[in-house]
Amino acid sequence: MAVEVFSGNTADPKTLPIQVEKVRERFALQRVIFVGDRGMLTSARLEEDLKPARLDWISALRTTEIRKLVTDPGFQFSLFDERDFAEIQSAEFPHERLVACRNPVLARERAHTREDLLQATEIELAALEKATQRAKNPLRGKDRIGLRLGKVLNRRQVGKHFLFEITDTAFSYRRNQDRITQEAALDGLYVIRTSVPESDLAAEAAVRAYKDLSVVERAFRTCKTVDLHIRPIYHRLPERVRAHVFLCMLAYYVEWHMRERLAPLLFDDEDPEAGQELRGSVVQPAQRSPEALRKASARQTPEGWPVQSFQTLLQSLGTIVKNRIQPRIPSSPAFDAVTRPSEMQQRALSLLEVTLPL
């Protein structure tokens, strides 16, 4: 494991070449598959860093690239009639494997979100239109109307889905239905791209590897906000900032192992493999195992103890203390006494393989 700290004005893609060098020289690894989102593993980074180093990768196409791909005459949406993912080819991406995926759940969510944003924006656009039509102090001037319109559109960023007509004395709008239909065709659709040959990695495995980036995102959330609160950083010297981040990385490493062992007492899923088996396809949302669902519903472990979050369990274990006791009897020596753990606390300590002193 390794961690590296960059200056705050360093763009994410700029950090990749250093990691390629680290993998090759520091860790002496020859066969490596880099997995990164489309913001990190850009086409430029693939061409300039990974391909010359003969390293494999898994990433995804950008929205503009997907839109161009689906408008190609060779692309057929009937690919998703029987399965929600299919391997395709494109002359735009030679020597690459493309796996097109369509998640119907995500498609419905995006369609619902877009409609909510459009309706909320239409309410403000209607108010702006009425402001130009009112009898008393009507809104006049292209510049003033345009300024008000810009404030409305900046709130929800859906201006591309409307058509406007602005004059010095009037304002009108309507939905750009063609643009909305074009975007709706991409709802729930994403395309994985990889250089790994099929003999080494099946299409389903490539999709799963890309979606496992959610584990990385969860780690960042844990470090930044959930448990460790890496920020704010009060250090100023670069070496102290690096040391601070390094300690937080070690703390996350310890927490990860603690969660694995304490899973029977937590809401965490003890058997994620069972959840994977219930999943109809790798494209569909992840499923929790039956035992995890039972714990979440009953809020009790099989032993009858309340299921807890990692934070509340740590708070409970934090009540175990060592006291220094000085008897009032003259000449009696002082001694230490450790709080006797409850049954639940003892269970947690046993899972962690921690033995308290007598």
Q: Report the percent of the chain where pLDDT is more than 70.
A: 100
Last residue of a domain, one of 183, 203, 232: 183
pLDDT-derived band at 79 (thresholds 50, 70, 90) equals confident
Is the pLDDT at 259 greater than 90? The verdict is yes
The domain boundary residue, chosen from 140, 167, 183: 183
Tell me if 207 sits within 8 A of 282, measured CB to CB. Answer: yes
- Which residues have CB under 8 Å from 188's CB, separation 6+? 102, 103, 104, 105, 106, 107, 108, 110
The set of residues, in sequence order, having a beta carbon less than 8 Å from that of 131 and lying 6+ positions away, is 138, 139, 148
**pTM (two decimals):** 0.82
In-domain check, residue 128: yes
Residue-number span of the structural domain to which 324 is assigned? 317-351
Whether 77 maps to a domain, the answer reads no
Q: Kindly report the CA angle at 262 between 259 and 263, in degrees rounded to 5?
A: 80
Residue 72 scores a pLDDT above 90 = no
**Is 169 part of a structural domain of the chain?**
yes
User: Would you say residue 117 lies in a domain?
Assistant: yes
Give me the mean pLDDT over the 78-98 stretch: 90
**Whether pLDDT at 42 is above 80:** yes
Q: How many CB atoms lie within 10 A of CB 200?
A: 12
- Residue 270 belongs to a domain: no
3-state helix, strand, coil split of the chain in percent (to 5) is: 50, 15, 40
Over 80: is that where the pLDDT of 302 sits?
A: yes
Looking at the structure of the chain, the number of domains it has is 2
Query: Is 205 part of any domain?
Result: no
Structure tokens at 122: 């239409």
**Among residues 183, 212, 231, which one ends one of the domains?**
183
What whole-number distance in Å separates Cα of residue 11 and Cα of residue 14?
Answer: 5
Residue at 239 is within a domain: no
pLDDT attached to residue 339: 92
In a domain? residue 61 = no
